[in-house]
Chains A and B, each alone.
Chain A
Amino acid sequence: MAALGPRSKPLVPALCRAFADCGRQLTPECAAERRDAAPSRASRFCPPRQSCHDWIGPPDRQSNLRPVQFYVPEDESPLEQRLRELRQETQEWNQEFWANQNSTFMKEKEEFIHSRLKAKGLALRTESGQRATLNAEEMADFYKDFLSKNFQKHMYYNRDWYRRNFAITVFMGRVALHRAWKRLRSGRR
């Protein structure tokens, strides 16, 4: 689902699914279904029953993104459901991309440091037992290389992120207007 290239899952079907009336009903007390979607420690949290808001957790260890547990109101309209699903799906998509990105970065960074230390003829650990390090100037080659290798991947991600962000915000606006209109109508009665 991550924006890995032109053959990756396009955004349009995802948005279409958000517009179609499908998807599972998520309940505040049921975090089990979410575990496979966002596999992190934070997903085991269940918001208290009396709360009627979304809950946001600490940054995920791998992706640094904060997971959100979405509140499902009893009178959730189809529009609200689609918005929630779109947000959930975007969250999972983001989680996958950044977890992958960060873990690749750490792995390649380690490999780079090991290879440089080997080339220098230095051990991986110093005499005091601490890991040997490279300074920022030596790491600069790695940073440049990593950035250029992932450039295309980031281009696709950027494009998809801007679209999703815009769609979610427009949707939120529609939902807010819809709710305001509903309240106005019930107020008149």
Chain B
Amino acid sequence: MSTMKRGTGRKWKSSLLPWRLLPMSRNKKCWVGGCVWYLERRAGQESPHKFMRLFRSVNKQWITFQHFNFLKRMYVTQLNRSLHQQVKPKPEPLASSFLEKTSSSQTKAEIYQMRSLSPPSLPLSRKSNEKGLTELGSASIIKSSIEVGNETRDEKQWKEMKLQLENLPGILARLSKIKLTALVVSTTSAGFALAPGPFDLPCFLLTFVGTGLASCAANCINQFFEVPFDSNMNRTKNRPLVRGQISPLLAVSFATCCAVPGVALLTWGVNPLTGALGAFNIFLYTCCYTPLKRISIANTWVGAVVGAIPPVMGWTAATGSLGAGAFLLGGILYSWQFPHFNALSWGLREDYSRGGYCMMSVTHPALCRRVALRHCLALIGLSTAAPLLDITTWTFPIISLPINLYISYLGFRFYTEADRKSSRKLFFCSLWHLPLLLLLLLTCKQDGKGVRGEPRG
């Protein structure tokens, strides 16, 4: 389609600061946003001189005015990032949005007195704006020029939907959720490494690449299905398909180009069982989990199975069969998904409700917390079962007990307190808990007993 053609259109330059366009974790954004806020606050203290400059020349006004507007917007974003739900309707789509009102009030107030920017004064400046509008006759000139400024800024946000080849790797990385894929592949590697028998490097590499490709494909299709929903959620609104950086056709083609070689590699390069598991997992994620998210809370359990299959694939790749170890590893990953996801979803309830997602955190909050705690405790049980199944030595349940107890403690806190703070603590704990647990599993691996089955089909 037109996105695949190279046209003669001129390059579009973003009027936004680059960092905002980067996919960053929320904490990083808070930190960077906080820096901008600090700088803006410093600037605000020197603001009287800035306002004089604003009135000096029209040309300069637009540059400092737009920069000023942008800094204001960044600040307001930080102010609104609160734990409470504000009763604040979205600004009207006319020139009189909140930011414009504040800015115009600032420029008008300058005529009477110098007014410095300080955070608590924002709601007050709204009040003074209402007075200012009625008092100033010449405000109409400023207002119309503000409107033109807004339209110019708005026009600058339009982008040509032309695929730039130099951007393609980044776009495809975001499309395939490369970080999540990396996590999936690492769990597969853990399953492979934990399996009995000597380590077969070529087989491992084939499994690694095949699983990675399958995961990329599944993530692409997931994003392809969810474009309008992703647009409406803060967490996902910067995805490539939402932003029009890639066409749906290209996304599906890329997914196919990953899925086919990925599954083929697993089936013929490793063994048919692993290939079948890979294909099944792609199907489960794209055709069961993704639509089910909007139909029933059962999606969480299906999603947990999706997360549990990769380490099982690693095990079957190494041994050629499903053993007790495969199920144990799968069980650990399955149980881990619940504290991880339930804690994450606790802070997204507003977006889920508005977007129509059926999640336990919205429809059955008590169940959500109960299940999270239940599975934290299950992790302790599964860790104890590892030596019983001859997967690890008895050292493993002992050394993993502290971290399992800690996550269970946080799970209990989440269960009782049921607030954002406890959910965030549990979520962040789950992020380091899993890699550490897998590492401990590998260090306590039981040596020697099993014989690897035929790895290649």
Chain A residues within 8 Å of B, Cβ to Cβ: 40-42, 44-45, 47-48, 50-59, 61-66, 68-69, 71, 73, 83, 94, 98, 101-102, 105-106, 109-110, 113-114, 124, 128-137, 139-140, 142-144, 146-148, 150-151, 153-155, 157-158, 161-162, 165, 168-169, 172-173, 175-176
> How many angstroms between the C-alpha atoms of A137 and B418 in the bound complex?
8
- Contact check, B244 vs A68: say whether CB atoms are below 8 A apart: yes
For the complex formed, measure the closest distance between the CB of B111 and the CB atoms of chain A, giving whole angstroms: 24
The 0/1 profile, CB within 8 Å of A marked 1, for residues 221-247 of chain B is 000110110011000010000111001
- Contact check, B294 vs A165: say whether CB atoms are below 8 A apart: no
B452 at the binding interface (Cβ < 8 Å): no
- Contact check, B162 vs A42: say whether CB atoms are below 8 A apart: no
- Please list 6 pairs of residues, one from A and one from B, whose beta carbons are closer than 8 Å in the complex, sorted by A's number: A51-B10, A61-B90, A65-B228, A109-B87, A147-B352, A147-B362
- Contact check, A50 vs B8: say whether CB atoms are below 8 A apart: yes
Q: A53-B7, A129-B127, A158-B291 are in contact. Are A65 and B231 (CB under 8 A)?
A: yes
Across the two chains, which residue of chain B brings its CB closest to A172?
A: B249
- Contact check, B10 vs A101: say whether CB atoms are below 8 A apart: no
Give chain B residues whose Cβ lies under 8 Å from the Cβ of A151: 356, 358
For the complex formed, measure the closest distance between the CB of A137 and the CB atoms of chain B, giving whole angstroms: 7
- Contact check, B158 vs A58: say whether CB atoms are below 8 A apart: yes
For the complex formed, measure the closest distance between the CB of A183 and the CB atoms of chain B, giving whole angstroms: 11
A41 in complex: contacting residue of B83, B154, B161, B294, CB < 8 Å: B154
B252 at the binding interface (Cβ < 8 Å): yes
Q: Which B250-266 residues sit within 8 Å CB-CB of chain A?
A: 252
The 0/1 profile, CB within 8 Å of A marked 1, for residues 345-365 of chain B is 001011011101110001101
The 0/1 profile, CB within 8 Å of A marked 1, for residues 152-191 of chain B is 0011011111100000000000000000000000000000
Give chain A residues whose Cβ lies under 8 Å from the Cβ of B248: 165, 168-169, 172
A113 in complex: contacting residue of B3, B85, B354, CB < 8 Å: B85
Give chain A residues whose Cβ lies under 8 Å from the Cβ of B418: 137
Across the two chains, which residue of chain B brings its CB closest to A134?
A: B85
B120 at the binding interface (Cβ < 8 Å): yes
> How many angstroms between the C-alpha atoms of A147 and B353 in the bound complex?
5
For the complex formed, measure the closest distance between the CB of A86 and the CB atoms of chain B, giving whole angstroms: 12
For the complex formed, measure the closest distance between the CB of B11 and the CB atoms of chain A, giving whole angstroms: 11
- Contact check, B86 vs A133: say whether CB atoms are below 8 A apart: yes
- Contact check, B85 vs A147: say whether CB atoms are below 8 A apart: no
> How many angstroms between the C-alpha atoms of A105 and B335 in the bound complex?
34
B18 at the binding interface (Cβ < 8 Å): no
- Contact check, A140 vs B160: say whether CB atoms are below 8 A apart: no
Across the two chains, which residue of chain B brings its CB closest to A141?
A: B365
> How many angstroms between the C-alpha atoms of A136 and B227 in the bound complex?
27
Across the two chains, which residue of chain B brings its CB closest to A153?
A: B356
Query: What 3 A-B pairs come out closest when comparing CB atoms?
Result: A51-B9, A56-B244, A143-B353
B5 at the binding interface (Cβ < 8 Å): yes
> How many angstroms between the C-alpha atoms of A117 and B247 in the bound complex?
47
Give chain B residues whose Cβ lies under 8 Å from the Cβ of A94: 228
Give chain A residues whose Cβ lies under 8 Å from the Cβ of B365: 140, 144
Q: A148-B363, A172-B248 are in contact. Are A162 and B88 (CB under 8 A)?
A: no
B2 at the binding interface (Cβ < 8 Å): yes
- Contact check, A133 vs B232: say whether CB atoms are below 8 A apart: no
- Contact check, A139 vs B85: say whether CB atoms are below 8 A apart: yes
A50 in complex: contacting residue of B10, B84, B159, CB < 8 Å: B10
Across the two chains, which residue of chain A brings its CB closest to B127?
A: A129
Give chain A residues whose Cβ lies under 8 Å from the Cβ of B2: 52-54, 71, 73
> How many angstroms between the C-alpha atoms of A50 and B348 in the bound complex?
43
- Contact check, A57 vs B228: say whether CB atoms are below 8 A apart: no
Q: Which B281-309 residues sit within 8 Å CB-CB of chain A?
A: 291, 294-295
Give chain A residues whose Cβ lies under 8 Å from the Cβ of B9: 47-48, 50-53
